Amino acid sequence: MLVQICVTVLTTALLVAAACYTESPPEQRWWAGGNVVTCVGLALSSMVTLPVLIHGVLGYGVIALGLGLVLRGLRVHCSATLSWTFIAALVGIALLIPAYFTLVAPSLRARLCFSGFYFAILNWMCAVVVARHGVWRVSGISLAGFILLGLALFLRGVHMLLHTDPADTTSSLVMGLSTLAIPLAQICIAFGLIQMVMWRYAERLRRLSTLDALTGALNRAGLEIQGKRVGLRALRAARSLAVIMIDVDNFKVINDTHGHPVGDEVLRHLARLVKLELRPHDLLARFGGEEFVLVLDGVNLAAALNVAERLRARIESEVVELDNLSVRYTASMGVVCSDEHSYDLIRLISAGDAAMYDAKRAGRNKVIAV
């Protein structure tokens, strides 16, 4: 019991420390608050010198509240929520049934069985949320912790149900194993929850470092990283690799005439139109200013020309609206393919850039392939 209390306090302190900074995500605060409340509930339920309504009833309700807050934090982490009505129902069940076995039909055995089964179910509910919405390689530690903790509590409930004397547990193998499993599970849960948040921050940093903030397309660094992978994949499979260079015609005139906010909206609009043509393994990058790169895996020159011509016509027919302004624009495109050039993405982009400038010199709003 002392080891369990110490581990509970330490893991709670770890979660509280992780949540105590201004930029911490809300789920961390729910997890930390839930663990603090659970610690209070465990302390109340272990103080048998207090009136039975406190350690035998109120303590269980406080533990249920803590687990409900942890469950709410998990739901928030998964871009969902958990209503306070549902949490109140969890706490109400944890109060009413022990109160029945304390005041109406006094039974220590029944109360202990209920606590084992009920808190096992709450931990498994947390495990279900993690399993349904988490990334396995990241959330596996916390998932294993919730499952293990629920299993340990469930086995305790089974032991109390079958054992004739719930006070005589010192020689029980089940109780010994559950006593060992509970602190191990708590450590797994605490570190797993922190790892889930760290992974999400790492993903945000990765997106910030590889995506263009204005359009959501890849930036040049992202294009370099992912473009190499696409090129190698196409080379190994002996598939064609096409590159379409796209540049907005007279973009400086748009900025000078209507202002930079309208110019920014034109770039966002163009990116949205191009993304409609993308397949899951294609790439779109903002190469600089008003210039974009579209990398198509498994597309030959003729098919890439069809894509570019379809994009050009669609851009020409669209209208960008912002603040009661309606702006039309066009784009010039250069198309190249690995069948005529190499699989080296830098060379393809250079050749596509030259073709795009040929399209501009030919009168703009054209598609030229080389």
For residue 216, pLDDT over 70 is answered with yes
Residue 27 CA to residue 151 CA, distance in Å, equals 25
* pLDDT score of 171: 47
Between CA 150 and CA 185 the distance in angstroms is: 9
pLDDT at 266 (0 to 100): 94
DSSP line for 170-201: TT-HHHHHHHHHHHHHHHHHHHHHHHHHHHHH
**Contact assessment for residue 35 and residue 70, using Cβ atoms and an 8 Å cutoff:** yes
pLDDT digit string (tens) for 246-288?
999 999 999 999 899 999 999 999 999 999 888 888 999 999 8
User: Coil, strand or helix: which one is 280?
Assistant: coil
pLDDT beyond 70 at 60: yes
pLDDT digits (tens, 9 = 90+) for 124-134: 999 999 998 87
Res. 35: pLDDT tops 80: yes
Q: Can you name the CATH fold of 2-210? A: Rhopdopsin 7-helix transmembrane proteins (1.20.1070)
Instruction: Kindly state the tokens that stand for 78.
Output: 């998964």
Residues involved in catalysis:
290
Residue 85 has a CB neighbour count (10 Å cut-off) of 7
Q: What rounded mean pLDDT belongs to the chain?
A: 88
Q: Are 11 and 35 in contact (CB under 8 A)?
A: yes
Instruction: Judge whether residue 175 has pLDDT over 70.
Output: no
* 202: amino acid identity, one letter: A
**Residue range 287-310: average pLDDT?**
92
pLDDT at 61: 95
Whether residue 175 contacts residue 159, with contact meaning beta carbons closer than 8 Å, is answered with: yes
99 band by pLDDT with thresholds 50, 70 and 90: very high
Distant-in-sequence, close-in-space partners of 117: CB < 8 Å, separation ≥ 6: 153, 154, 157
The confidence score (pLDDT) of residue 172 equals 61
How far is residue 54's CA from residue 57's CA, in Å, rounded to a whole number?
A: 6
Pick the closest to residue 245 from 217, 212, 284, 211 (CA basis): 284
Domain boundaries, the chain: 2-210, 220-369
Burial of 202 (C-beta count, 10 Å sphere; 0-12/13-18/19+)? exposed
Q: What is the mean pLDDT of residues 69-88?
A: 92
Cα-based torsion angle of the residue sequence 169, 173, 179, 182 in order, rounded to the nearest 10 degrees:
-130
Tens of pLDDT, residues 237-246: 999 999 999 9
User: Tokens representing 170?
Assistant: 């010192």
Closest C-alpha to 207, from 197, 196, 222, 192? 222
- Give 150-171 pLDDT, tens digit per residue: 998 998 888 878 765 555 544 4
Q: What is the CATH number of domain 220-369?
A: 3.30.70.270
- pLDDT higher than threshold 70 for residue 222: yes
DSSP string computed for 58-127: IHHHHHHHHHHHHHHHHHHHTT----HHHHHHHHHHHHHHHHIIIIIS--HHHHHHHHHHHHHHHHHHHH
Q: What is the mean pLDDT of residues 39-50?
A: 85
